[in-house]
Amino acid sequence: MSEATAVDANSTKVQMGGVTVDTVPQGRAARVASVVPAAEGESSGDEDAEDEEAIIEDAEILEDLPDDTEEIELIHSRLNSISNLGLPRFARHLKKLCLRQNYIAVLDPDVLNKLEELEELDLYDNRVKSVDDAIVALGKLSTLDLSFNLLRRVPETLDRLRSLRTVFFVQNKITHITGLDGVGATLRSLELGGNKLRKIENLDALVNLEELWLGKNKITKLENLDSLKRLKILSIQSNRITKLEGLENLEGLEELYLSHNGIERLEGLERNLKLRTLDVGNNFVERLENVSHLSSLEELWSNDNKISTLEGLEAQLRHIATLETIYLEGNPVQKSEGANYRRKVMLALPQVKQLDATYVRQS
């Protein structure tokens, strides 16, 4: 142990220069976080020297951890690279590696491909532009998070990850959905929100997918979803959808999120009988219709649309005993009904427990 290292046996914290290593008593997990001193004025030459020393001594960050450590977290640790951390030493036991909020741009294949027991790899909020062959040997990897990076496409090498179940590619620069055929048998959740997608495509192989998250893109049409017969959650908020369609084969769908689009009419849900949550808030829907068959519905979000009357509310929803929450605020009908708005809704839907953001007082 270096002279800059001190051990607190009671707290299981290891202080090493500029970082704190927090270890689990059993010695199988570690969280490492940088200790960044508060800056006062301009950085001095001595402070620059300290930063340079911290980078040079990457190898010391994990030196006190046992070889059988199963989880390592290096969060906000000002890392530019993983090459000098000595990660291969943990290869036989390491199952989770979290490198969130660093400055990593290049993934060293000579390091990552040695971690063959790895099950979770978290690189959220870095500067990764390409994965290339850096993860091809991670056959046991089940969760991969590359959100908030600089990817322009889905990594082609995903097809080598035969155990992959959950993937996060949030807030990158991906323009097309590609490269997923090889993980079709295992993938359960795919998150592509906050990219530059214009079309739903190339999902035919994902026959076991249960969750698809596509919010905050530029998608104009609900299409190419027919093969996703096991899908339970579809989120496509903040896109450019104008018509509810293409959902007829998603008979197992339980949650549908379509807020902040351009939808003008509730339709196309005839075969989605298992829907529990339907969110069409912030669209251009003019009336409540074509939902009376959704006998499992628990939550209906239709706030901030163009609904001008409560006509049809009772006929469409009163018989749905499972319905507990409905949002109608922000529609013209709320203003036109004034003080009578809440009373009329509750008379029409006595089973509801929450109207808008307020719980209903049960008599």
pLDDT in tens, 16-36: 434 444 545 445 666 665 444
Say whether 241-363 and 13-150 share the same fold.
Answer: yes
Give the tens place of pLDDT for each residue, 157-188.
Answer: 999 999 999 999 999 999 999 999 999 999 99
Q: What gap in Å lies between CA 154 and CA 144, rounded to an integer?
A: 12
Query: Which residue has 């199952």 as its token pair?
Result: 95
C-alpha span between 90 and 97 (Å, rounded)? 11
Whether residue 2 is predicted with pLDDT greater than 70 in this model: the reply is no
Domain 241-363 falls under CATH 1.10.10.10: no
pLDDT (tens digit per residue) in 48-69: 544 544 444 777 899 999 999 9
- Count of beta carbons in the 10 Å neighbourhood of residue 76: 13
Least confident stretch, 56-60, 117-121, 135-139, 335-339: 56-60
Where b means 16+ CB within 10 Å and e means fewer, 1-36 reads: eeeeeeeeeeeeebebbbbbbebeeeebbbbbebee
Q: What percent of the chain has pLDDT over 70?
A: 84
Return the residue matching tokens 């339970």. 232
- CA-nearest of 133, 183, 173, 127 to 153 is 173
Region 68-93 average pLDDT: 95
Residue 156: name the closest of 190, 177, 132 by CA.
132
Does the structure show a pLDDT above 80 at 92?
yes
Q: Which residues are within 8 A (CB) of 272 and not within 5 positions of it... i.e. 6 or more apart?
A: 247, 250, 251, 253, 256, 294
For the chain, give every domain's residue range. Answer: 13-150, 241-363
The answer to whether 112 and 81 have CB atoms below 8 angstroms apart is: no
Q: What is the CATH number of domain 13-150?
A: 3.80.10
Paired tokens of 153: 């496409």
User: pTM for the whole thing?
Assistant: 0.86
pLDDT of res. 47? 45
Provide the 3-class DSSP secondary structure of residue 339. helix
The full 3-state SS of 218-258, as one line of letters, equals CCCCCCCCCCCCCCCEEECCCCCCCCCCCCCCCCCCCEEEC
